[in-house]
Amino acid sequence: MNLSGSTALVTGATAGIGRAVALQLAREGAEVVVHGRDADRGRAVVGEIEAGGRAARFVQADLTDAADVLRLAERAGEVDVLVNNAGIYRFLPTSQMTAELFDLHMNLNTKAPYLLVRALAPGMAERGGGSIVNVSTLAAAVPTKGTGMYAASKAALEQLTRVWAAEYADQGVRVNAVAPGPTRTPGTDDMDAATLKAVADTTAMRRVAEPAEVAEAIVFLASDRASDITGVVLEVAGGRLGIG
Ligand code: NAP
């Protein structure tokens, strides 16, 4: 995978899966725009990339704020690869879900990727091509109690992935998604081990993945190695139960 000469924007790259994606993209030669809210963690990821002899810069933005999303797109400039990774997941029965949490999921998990694709994909097309990878979740396809709001926000993102793939197919821009299963990240750190294991037990391999394993698939889809792949949702989730 040679991404030399390309620029990649990774949202939510200050932690977890996004951080692993940023590090792997840099290793493959891309200059990485590391996005997040926490400037200290952002600087640390940039430092790690620079220590490996690659280039990166940090851009701070709160993606629940549409104006800030557009500011991020502007500050990122010309990007060849966009990884829409930043996201939140709150698991609650519908009766306990609030209107505020509904907006938070939709704004961060669905609307921010929408605004970033709208802002950045036309430039990719004009320059002759690009690649977009959206980070979804296995929960978007497998109904699991308590995941309704989160799953719906990501199911919308998956359908947008297929529509964007169709819209941009003849302009050289590929759009795919990766749907991880349970993965050990700062976001899942505050789940107790039993809960995380219970989620892992809903998959065939019954394990919790490391962020780098999910990043491998994202970086593959982002690269020219996946030149004939668009509009797919690739599950990196240890297998759905019942597959044999
Ligand atoms: P994480 O450890 O919680 O990290 C979240 C990242 O998103 C951080 O970089 C954070 O930046 C950023 N972020 C959060 N809220 C933000 C906001 N309002 N504005 C801008 N950035 C914000 O997450 P993760 O577990 O790696 O998950 C990454 C993606 O994978 C998410 O889309 C998630 O839905 C998906 N996923 C995760 C799992 C899993 O088990 N971990 C499974 C399936 C899917 P700051 O900390 O700098 O604010």
**Tens-place pLDDT, residues 118-143:** 999 999 999 999 999 999 999 999 98
Once rounded to an integer, what is the mean pLDDT over residues 30-46?
98
| pLDDT of residue 42 exceeding 60 | yes
CA distance 120 to 118: 6
| pLDDT of residue 108 exceeding 80 | yes
Reported as a single tens digit per residue, the pLDDT across 75-100 is 999 999 999 999 999 999 999 999 99
| pLDDT of residue 243 exceeding 60 | no
CA of residue 215 to ligand 1 center, whole Å: 13
Taken in order 182, 188, 190, 193, the sign of the CA dihedral is positive
* Domains identified in the chain and CATH numbers: 7-235 (3.40.50.720)
Give the residue, out of 37, 72, 192, 208, with the most ligand 1 atoms within 8 A of its beta carbon, to mutate for a pocket test. Answer: 37
| pLDDT of residue 17 exceeding 70 | yes
The pLDDT of residue 190 is: 85
Give 86's contacts (C-beta < 8 A, 6+ positions apart). Answer: 11, 12, 18, 35, 36, 63, 108, 112
Kindly state if the Cβ of 63 falls inside 6 Å of ligand 1.
yes
Q: Quick one: pLDDT band at residue 180, thresholds 50, 70, 90?
A: very high
CA distance 202 to 228: 31
Kindly state if the Cβ of 180 falls inside 6 Å of ligand 1.
yes
- One-letter amino acid at 195 equals T
Kindly state if the Cβ of 113 falls inside 6 Å of ligand 1.
no
Catalytic pick among 89, 114, 150, 168: 150
Query: Is residue 150 flagged as an active site residue?
Result: yes
Once rounded to an integer, what is the mean pLDDT over residues 214-234?
98
Q: Name which residue sits closest to atom 10 of ligand 1, judged by CA.
A: 12
Kindly state if the Cβ of 208 falls inside 6 Å of ligand 1.
no
Reported as a single tens digit per residue, the pLDDT across 18-36 is 999 999 999 999 999 999 9
Q: What percent of the chain has pLDDT over 90?
A: 90
Kindly state if the Cβ of 137 falls inside 6 Å of ligand 1.
yes
Which residues are 180's β-sheet partners?
Answer: 236
**Average pLDDT of the chain?**
96
The pLDDT of residue 18 is: 99
CA distance 38 to 156: 27
The pTM assigned to this predicted structure is 0.98
CA of residue 187 to ligand 1 center, whole Å: 6
| pLDDT of residue 244 exceeding 60 | no
